[in-house]
Structure 1
Amino acid sequence: MVITVSSIKGGVGKSSVVLLLANNLASRGRKVLVIDTDLNNTVTVYYTMGIGRIGEICERQNISLAFSTGKIDDRNIVASRKQNVWVVPSSLKLLDQRSMENVEIKRILRSPKGFDDILIDTSPTWDNIVAGALMAADLILSPVAFTEYNYNMSACLLSKMQTVMPDQAKNLYFLFNHWSDQYSKYPTSLQNLVLSMYRKGIDNLLSVTLPDTRFVDRYTNFDEKCCIKSPHTGCARLAAGVNNLINMIYEDKKVVEIF
């Protein structure tokens, strides 16, 4: 399955969702390829930190070179520091590839062989590379933060897709990130007000949510593990949420205790 994670708005936890999904899937024994088309390269840094001479490796093997050669293969796939996860690093040279056709980008992003899952991280914008990544996906997840501006950006993304790629718009689902059970109790909380806006204006809202927890930063920046049985409440809730999300997507019931 090809899963693209996309949002026009930055700061909604897009890259962290990619990391959490990829690591959980890898812990299930699946071979996962993560393609980093985000110029911020958070995913690339996470999966390659500590690897010797990684700067030189990423200069020789990256998504920009894959677009230039027309294929993603061993020439641009890097073995990550995580078992069962490989990565195609991002590159600032993507800025020079704005003239590529969407359909060609789609073809290249779907070209890797031998993987159970391909996850694509995208820049928080709308351009030809993001559009190609959306076209390549079997499933599109768009993380949502609870602000009115985020609703406007979600509506913009949906409108763009309905215009440019109407068939793919049916594969777009909105994932409520930074969810707080505490705020859900109060009808006038910002969370509930924004949730009401989404329910009135947008379909395809996922019932599974990911919790608002500072543990996400510890996971992405300090490589702490997500664990169902963790004494840290935020960690345990995040692990449960990711398991629930993947089980919903893949119609599975497995629980990965630590990833």
Structure 2
Amino acid sequence: MKTLANAIQKGGQGKTFATCHLAFDGAARGLRVVVIDLDSQGNASYTLEPYDSGLNASQLFSDDENLVSSIFDGRDNSGISLIRKDFALANIEKMNGDVAAAALRMHISNLRKYFDICLIDTPPSISNLMASALFASDYVMSPVEAETYSIQGMQAMVAVIQNIRLRGNPNLKFIGMLPNRVNYRDERQLQNLAGMRAAFQDLVMPFDCRQRGSFAEAQGDQKPVWQIKKTAARVAAKEVRVMTQYVFEKMEIV
């Protein structure tokens, strides 16, 4: 099993969009996918609600070594399994950071018996939840809008990733920034995108996802964008498939 966190220190960038579509595409490829929703907003939990495993995300910070096996032993774990957001996640910020990270690492290690991919949706700020996710992950990617504040958030995220590598996860690989919700009619955004590519170079994925209503519609309908029956959605689906193929290749899954 390989683990990927979607993380950036700024809300509204498209982490949940990327997490859910990677899950949908992975399942369509016949992979067993588990999604952990650590974001208190719970958007991934809403979109993936039909795949709820019955396990709460806050339970992954306990010291119960048998927790994962008690849920996933003896069941069909094909397709998508959601470990949903719950209100007790707020209590994780009161834990010692090293203890929280060690607990999540243990449970994710135990998930390896049942799944091929683990995807983690993180909160939009550095916290025990985000840090624990990065300590437990093999890969991280960062959706980012072509806006000044978003780019500043990405600069902070690059520093966080370097710190996580130094503090205990030296093999954490950064897949890159996904330029997201790009409005090609907005000259300012295009200039920001060009500036982002110039500043971060190879850290930016060599494509983007544009601003499209089909993405929000798909997430609200709890389905991937390629199941939306509109012409615009077909164009959006092609963009998403480029992203998922790129990420899975970087993760050496396909």
Residues 167-220 of structure 1 show CA distances to partners (whole Å, capped at 9, x for unaligned) of: 35642511111134555xxxxx12222123323432411113222100111101
Partner of 2:179: 176
Change (3 A) 1:37 1:70: farther
Partner of 1:250: 248
The structure with the greater share of residues assigned to helix is: 2
Residues 95-120 of structure 1 show CA distances to partners (whole Å, capped at 9, x for unaligned) of: 11222423443333333022111111
The Cα of 1:12 is off from its aligned counterpart by: 1.0
- Please give the alpha-carbon distance, in whole angstroms, between the structure 2 residues aligned to 1:221 and 1:22: 16
Amino acid at match of 2:219: T
- Please give the alpha-carbon distance, in whole angstroms, between the structure 1 residues aligned to 2:62 and 2:102: 14
- Please give the alpha-carbon distance, in whole angstroms, between the structure 2 residues aligned to 1:118 and 1:169: 14
The Cα of 1:228 is off from its aligned counterpart by: 8.7
Partner of 1:257: none
Partner of 1:36: 37
Partner of 1:205: 204
SS of structure 2 residue aligned to 1:34: strand
Residues 148-183 of structure 1 show CA distances to partners (whole Å, capped at 9, x for unaligned) of: 000111001111222342435642511111134555
The structure 2 residue matched to 1:85, chosen from 77, 80, 86, is 80
Over the matched positions of the two proteins, sequence identity in percent amounts to: 20
- Please give the alpha-carbon distance, in whole angstroms, between the structure 2 residues aligned to 1:160 and 1:13: 19
Partner of 2:26: 25
Mapping of residues 142-153 of structure 1, within 5 Å: 142-153=142-153
Segments of 4+ in structure 1 off by > 3 A? 69-72, 74-77, 166-170, 180-183, 228-231
SS of structure 2 residue aligned to 1:143: strand
- Please give the alpha-carbon distance, in whole angstroms, between the structure 2 residues aligned to 1:36 and 1:75: 19
Aligned pair count reads: 236
The Cα of 1:131 is off from its aligned counterpart by: 0.9
- Please give the alpha-carbon distance, in whole angstroms, between the structure 2 residues aligned to 1:133 and 1:16: 18
CA contact (8 A) 1:135 1:168 kept: no
Q: Does 1:106 align with 2:105?
A: yes
Give the stretch that moved more between structures: 92-101 or 211-220: 92-101
- Residue segments in structure 2 that go unaligned for 5+ positions in a row: none
- Please give the alpha-carbon distance, in whole angstroms, between the structure 1 residues aligned to 2:239 and 2:227: 10
Amino acid at match of 1:133: A
Residues 61-91 of structure 1 show CA distances to partners (whole Å, capped at 9, x for unaligned) of: 31212211445515456xxxx9710011112
The Cα of 1:239 is off from its aligned counterpart by: 1.3
Partner of 1:125: 125
- Please give the alpha-carbon distance, in whole angstroms, between the structure 2 residues aligned to 1:163 and 1:142: 16
Amino acid at match of 1:138: D
- Please give the alpha-carbon distance, in whole angstroms, between the structure 1 residues aligned to 2:60 and 2:12: 27
Change (3 A) 1:153 1:206: same
SS of structure 2 residue aligned to 1:11: coil
State TM-score, norm by structure 2: 0.81
The Cα of 1:136 is off from its aligned counterpart by: 1.9
RMSD across aligned C-alpha pairs, in angstroms? Answer: 2.8
- Please give the alpha-carbon distance, in whole angstroms, between the structure 2 residues aligned to 1:229 and 1:129: 33
- Please give the alpha-carbon distance, in whole angstroms, between the structure 2 residues aligned to 1:94 and 1:116: 25
- Please give the alpha-carbon distance, in whole angstroms, between the structure 2 residues aligned to 1:250 and 1:76: 27
- Please give the alpha-carbon distance, in whole angstroms, between the structure 1 residues aligned to 2:119 and 2:61: 17
Q: Does 1:227 align with 2:226?
A: yes
CA contact (8 A) 1:228 1:240 kept: no
Partner of 1:97: 92
The Cα of 1:231 is off from its aligned counterpart by: 4.4
Q: Does 1:165 align with 2:159?
A: no
Give the stretch that moved more between structures: 141-150 or 219-228: 219-228
- Please give the alpha-carbon distance, in whole angstroms, between the structure 2 residues aligned to 1:76 and 1:84: 16
State TM-score, norm by structure 1: 0.80
